[in-house]
Amino acid sequence: MPKHIQSPFLYQTHQVGYKGITLSLPLDPNWCDKFAPPEGAKADVPGSFDGRLTPSGTGYVLKGSLVGKMMIPCNRCLDDVECKYDSVFTHYYTTNEEEAEEDGFGVTAIASDEINVEPILGEELVLALPTYVLCGEGCKGLCVSCGVNLNKGDCSCEAPIDPRWDKLKALKLSG
């Protein structure tokens, strides 16, 4: 395993050599929480990244998979839902800034002899997580008046009546 500089995500290009290096990084729950976009999302167990960093042309290729699970609140009732992620990806690092600007997404310019894989792993984590989470198809959500989780029981609130319908109460049907 290559020697790390300051961070398990930072590698010097000379460490990669001409054959490349194998990376096997445990992703601490606190690390995952730092990148998780949904409000209230949390990782209870570590995730992992397994892959290879290899030289290629004017740069380096990072190929691997990011695997784990997070607890994300249901968008309707706020109960935690276990969401697994499994992202297989390839990312390019180049020493040619013009190449990075032309290719855009999936290419990062490196200006020094260091490659930091952390921002890419964080980006892949965000992309791997669902954008809308439900605890189940039939989730009833929360009562808009008192906030009771309607999946766990009814509340005692009366259904609010839209004041625009008040005039209809005065109508009498003849018949």
Would 29 be classed as within a structural domain?
yes
Q: What percent of the chain has pLDDT over 70?
A: 89
Would 153 be classed as within a structural domain?
no
Q: Tell me the mean pLDDT in the region 31-35.
A: 80
Mean pLDDT of all residues belonging to the chain = 86
Would 55 be classed as within a structural domain?
yes
Would 44 be classed as within a structural domain?
yes
Would 59 be classed as within a structural domain?
yes
pTM: 0.78
Would 87 be classed as within a structural domain?
yes
Query: In whole angstroms, what is the distance from residue 57 CA to residue 92 CA?
Result: 10
Note the pLDDT of residue 136.
Answer: 95
Would 2 be classed as within a structural domain?
no
- Total domains in the fold of the chain: 1
Which residues make Cβ contacts (< 8 Å) with residue 55, sequence separation at least 6? 16, 17, 18, 20, 61
Q: In this structure, what is the dihedral angle of CA atoms 109, 111, 116, 117, given to the nearest 10 degrees?
A: 20
Query: In whole angstroms, what is the distance from residue 19 CA to residue 21 CA?
Result: 7
Q: Are strands 80-94 and 107-109 parallel, antiparallel or unpaired?
A: parallel
Note the pLDDT of residue 90.
Answer: 94
Over the stretch 3-22, which tens digit does the pLDDT of each residue have?
544 788 999 988 898 899 99
Could you tell me the residue range of the domain that residue 81 belongs to?
10-142
The residues with which 90 forms a beta bridge, in sequence order, are 63
Would 158 be classed as within a structural domain?
no
